[in-house]
Amino acid sequence: MERSSWAFNWRRVLLLRETSSLIMLFVVIIVFFSIAPLFLSKENVGVVLEIIPELGIVALGVTMLMITGEFDLSVGSVFAFCPIMMALFMDWGMNSVLAVLCALVIGAGLGALNGFITLTFGIPSFITTLGAMLIWRGGVLLLTGGWPPPFPVGMFTGALVGKIGILRVSLFWFGIITLILWFILERTDFGNWMFASGGNQIAARAMGIDVRRVKLANFMLCSLLAGFSGVIQSFRLETTLPSMGNGLEMEAIAATVIGGTALSGGVGTLIGTVVGSFLIRMIDNGLIMARAPSYWFRVFIGIATILAVILNTFVRERAKKLRC
């Protein structure tokens, strides 16, 4: 009896979707620490923690949307579009808080547009948002002519990226957003509708769930978070570059998938995505600390992504057979 309950618990741990990404995270930390002990120095931990939220917040939105069975490839472009609109609004004399809010509304609006087109014409969101990715990246270049607008002076940067010891406020925003989204996903009826919409939309619809509304809301959320994260980065760097967030959509999807969320929808965890975001940024930073050429970054992220999914599938299959 004693033994079977012990085995059962192990089985449950192995069945958790976050497990394989957590294992990988520990391995990465140990490997980099043994190569470059400074990897875990206070200063370096601070450096890593300051860049994680910018990927993490985007990845949380991508995860929520992916659970409902849709994609957003345009997050990287929205990540650049929103802060640039913010800078332009201020250039036109708008109040700083209002400019940020307007930029965020635009972010949500671009998500609504993705959702509207995808759901109205019944085309894959992969296609819609691939188009949107190109359109808004092009839009950013058109608006700026390739030259960044001047970063407004006297912005309230402290509220988003102010320093507290080695940490930045953005880390707390990341934490708060994670908690709120976790609550919505795991503890509210809307979260249940999300899983249902992504897992079997015919069943969801048959049970009276407004699948369209659920998906639309998540398209908007995903895009809003991408815009918010872009604003955070522009505050940290005090500049708005048209090239911001280039390739971020792939990193966000990688973080999501590494964390155990299924590409096909209906399955996923936000905690896994947080772990995935840490993993990606730690590999990034660890390679620098280990003095490896930075070209290795993409190679390692690619390997990590594939490995995580294999590990996840493998571990869970094994765990299922661990019947007691």
Partner 1 sequence: MEERNEYLVEMVNIHKWFAGVCALKGVNFAVRYGEIVGLVGDNGAGKSTLIKILSGFYPPDTGKIIFEGKERHFASPREARELGIETIYQEAAMVPKMSIMRNIFMGRELSRTKIASLGYLDIARMEVESMKALESVGLRLRSPHALVDELSGGQRQGVAIARAMYFKSKLVILDEPTNNLSVKESEKVLEFIRELKKQGISSVFISHNLYHVYPVADRIVVLSHGEKIGDYLKEETSVEEITKLMVLP
**Residues in the site for partner 1, rule: CB under 8 A?**
184, 187-193, 195-196, 199-200, 202-204, 206-209, 262, 266-267
At 276, which amino acid appears? G
State the minimum distance, in angstroms, from the CB of residue 323 to partner 1.
Answer: 11
Cβ closer to partner 1: 95 or 264? Answer: 264
- Nearer to partner 1 by Cβ, of 122 and 208: the residue is 208
Residue placing its CB nearer to partner 1 in the complex, 267 or 307: 267
Q: Output DSSP code: residue 238.
A: T
CB atoms within 10 A of CB 289: 20
- First vs last C-alpha separation in the chain: 10
Helices within 238-295 (DSSP H only): 248-258, 270-289
Minimum distance from CB of 238 to partner 1 (Å)? 34
Compute the distance between CA of residue 284 and CA of residue 166 in angstroms, rounded to an integer. Answer: 19
User: Who's near 261: CB < 8 A, 6+ residues apart?
Assistant: 17, 63, 66, 67, 267, 268, 269, 272, 273
Q: How far is the CB of 207 from partner 1 (least distance, A)?
A: 4
**Beta partners for residue 168, in sequence order:** 163
Query: For residues 7 and 30, which CB has a smaller minimum distance to partner 1 in the complex?
Result: 7
CB 76 within 8 A of CB 90: no
In whole angstroms, how far apart are CA 263 and each of 77, 95, 128, 307?
21, 41, 17, 15
**Min. distance of Cβ 199 from partner 1 in angstroms?**
4
- Work out how close the CB of 196 gets to partner 1 at its nearest, in angstroms, rounded to a whole number: 5
Between 69 and 148, whose beta carbon lies closer to partner 1?
69
Least distance in angstroms from the C-beta of 176 to partner 1: 15
Give the nearer residue to partner 1 in terms of CB position, either 83 or 266.
Answer: 266
Nearest in space to 82 (alpha carbons), one of 155, 39, 143: 143
User: Shortest gap between Cβ of 95 and partner 1 (angstroms)?
Assistant: 27
**Residue 151 φ/ψ region, left for φ over 0, alpha for ψ in the -120 to 50 degree band, beta for the rest:** beta
Cβ pair 18, 24 in contact under 8 A: no
Nearer to partner 1, 164 or 202 (CB): 202
